[in-house]
Amino acid sequence: MHRGLAVSFSSLARRLTTALVVRPAHASGAVPGVSKSPAGFGSRPRRASMPPNKRARPASGASPPASPATPGKATAAKRSRPSRPGVSPPAASDSSVLSFGEEVRDVRAALAAMSDRDPVLAGVIAEAGVLPRIAQCQTARAATHEPHRAFRALARAIVFQQLHGAAAATIFARLAALVGAEADATRLSPKAILSAEASRLRACGLSQRKLEYLRGLAEAFTAAPEGGGLGDAALESATDEDARAKLEALRGVGPWTVDMFAMFHLNRADVLPVGDFGVRKGVMLTYGLPSMPSPAKMQAIAENWRPTRTLASFYMWHAADAAKDAVKKAKGKKA
């Protein structure tokens, strides 16, 4: 009986040893380190046993690199880590390197450089990451081929002057409807404004003064370039100083309007809107000033932001908005 048991155990041991021998992957089609099990149940490979395989799926938490021609998918963008703390990866629709206008080819590098020069600004950038506003400006640049783009941007700025955003948006929508530009924005052109009856333009909600401003703007965009006329190509190629001089010569177009046009339409990198309330508020809060800064004070603080003061101004708006949101939340908790 004992001898029979010994033989049985010996036979069983030989069979177990044979079963545990790891066969080469090419012999069975299996990957070493992966046990045979039904799909979805314990089929995840062990990292240490994975052979070098170009087609293998990336480990959990990693994202596959996007090719230069094809941006990574949304899931890859969410998983990838920023190259600098506090600077988030671009949105899924952006290319791997986020740019701003024609001057800033790498937004992250520009933000890192400003952070090195200005530790206070660095804190805001680290907290906020890459602002969506920057990517939106890059996306808008794709429409530079559209006709009358500069005229529409300036016309909108004139309509929105000194009005609450909702009221101004309503007036601008009526203006677009009047010239048939609801579905095709390019139909809001200088010719369309000059052809429309004054009474119908006033009925959209425009004041007499803003009507005069709009018509003066339309006349400037229909004049011949040699006669001082404006156009998309001329403004795109003009220097910051030349563009400002030409635009401020128009009635109804002041320094603030030119600043907004240069930042959001032309995407010029080194604009400092010293007259903008939100940027001034952000500077006061960020730098701990006792009161709203004067233009001279803002110029002095912004020296460390050159040559990308536009990007830094975006973060001052962010700081002002964040403070406003914090106040609203505090009031909500008390209520």
pLDDT tens per residue across span 1-21:
444 444 444 554 444 444 444
Asked whether the predicted pLDDT for residue 124 surpasses 60, the reply is yes
321-334 pLDDT tens trace: 999 988 888 877 77
Judge contact between 84 and 106, C-beta under 8 A.
no
Work out the percent of the chain whose per-residue pLDDT is above 90.
60
pLDDT digits (tens, 9 = 90+) for 245-286: 999 999 999 999 999 999 999 999 999 999 999 999 999 999
| Domains detected in the chain | 84-142 (no CATH), 146-265 (1.10.340.30), 277-334 (no CATH)
| Amino acid occupying residue 242 | D
- The SS3 assignment for 283 reads helix
Model pTM? 0.68
- Distance (Å, whole) CA 255 – CA 261: 10
- Return the SS3 of 226: helix
pLDDT 10s digits, 150-202: 999 999 999 998 888 899 999 999 999 999 999 999 999 999 999 999 999 99
- C-alpha 16/C-alpha 300 separation (Å) is 80
